[in-house]
Amino acid sequence: MSIAMRDVFLIAWRSSRRTMRQPAAVIVPLTFPLILLAVNSNGLKAATQLPGFPTHSFLAFFLPFAFIQGALFAAMTAGTDLARDIDTGFFNRLALTPLRGMGLVVGQLGGALTQAFLQAIAYLAVGLVLGVHFASGPVGILVFLVLALVIAAAWGMTGIWIALRTGSGEAVQSQFPLLFFFMIISSMNLPRNLIEVDWFRDAATINPVSYMIEALRSLVIEGWNVQALALGFTVSIGAVAVAMGLASIALRKRMTRT
């Protein structure tokens, strides 16, 4: 194992272990998206009667949102934990070892991705048990999980960037309602072509979160929609790249060691 890989593994190991030992950091991200899934798939199922609605199952339509929301929770945990490390001086302890700065960032992200992956398996299992059928088949399920993890990486890196920039757990948590707002003004509840309010449809169209959800959704209810997948992967990978760039700038300012 290379030194860089070893560092990433050790930081991810520590991050995962720490998360798993905080019941609130495990239970809330696991259950809250499933509760919202249960509420919305029941309360909004009348939407499937709308002309042009792409499926008869609102559960299948809404399932991808659980993955996006769960990833956001995992990112919040990763960001808050890193901010706490900065606040308590643990970050300085790590800075005094030969650990490379990006090793810390990627390792921390690895912890968030581990959590997001375990959550994703749980959401997927619940969806399949409740009768959700993946139109893209077993390979589509794998692609779905890969995309869900890329989206989790985008959120996770955003959380890490905010933590490095502010050094405050409270600041990290205060940013997340804003990110949650981005999720709400997307196509999470309705396909964009069925949103009748102009400003909302426009907002959903320029909102990258819509393309993440639509790519995941396409694998569940449409099969292989290359355009939706290309857009979803491009937007998600782009978000990872932008957040990683911002995080590396914040890291340079935060980790001032010579």
Partner 1 sequence: MADEHGIEVWSLVRTFKDVHAVQGINLRVEPGEIYGFLGPNGAGKSTTIHMLTTLLPPTSGTAFVAGFDIVKDGPAVRGSIGAALQEAALDPYLTGREHLRLQSGLHGIPKREREERGDELLTRVGLTRAADRKVQTYSGGMKRRLDLALALVHRPRILFLDEPTTGLDPQSRNALWTEVDRLAKDEGVTVFLTTQYLEEADVLADRVGIIDHGKIVAEGTPEELKATIGRPTVVATPKQAEQLEHATAILERFGEPTRASPGATAVMLNGKGDLADVLRALDGEGILVDDLRLHAPSLDDVFLAKTGRMLEGEEEQSE
Question: Which residues are at the interface with partner 1 (CB under 8 A)?
Answer: 3, 6-7, 10, 13-14, 17-18, 21-22, 85, 88-90, 92-99, 256-258
* CB closer to partner 1 out of 84 and 201: 84
Cβ–Cβ < 8 Å for 128, 203 = no
Tell me whether residue 16 or residue 48 sits nearer to partner 1 (CB atom). 16
With respect to partner 1, which residue has the nearer C-beta, 165 or 254?
Answer: 254
* Residue 32 CB, nearest approach to partner 1 (Å): 22
CB of 191: closest distance to partner 1 in angstroms? 43
For the CB of residue 22, give the shortest distance to partner 1 in the complex, in Å.
7
Nearer to partner 1, 96 or 129 (CB): 96
Q: For residues 32 and 90, which CB has a smaller minimum distance to partner 1 in the complex?
A: 90
CB of 178 to partner 1, least distance (A): 28
For residue 167, the minimal CB distance to partner 1 (Å) is 14
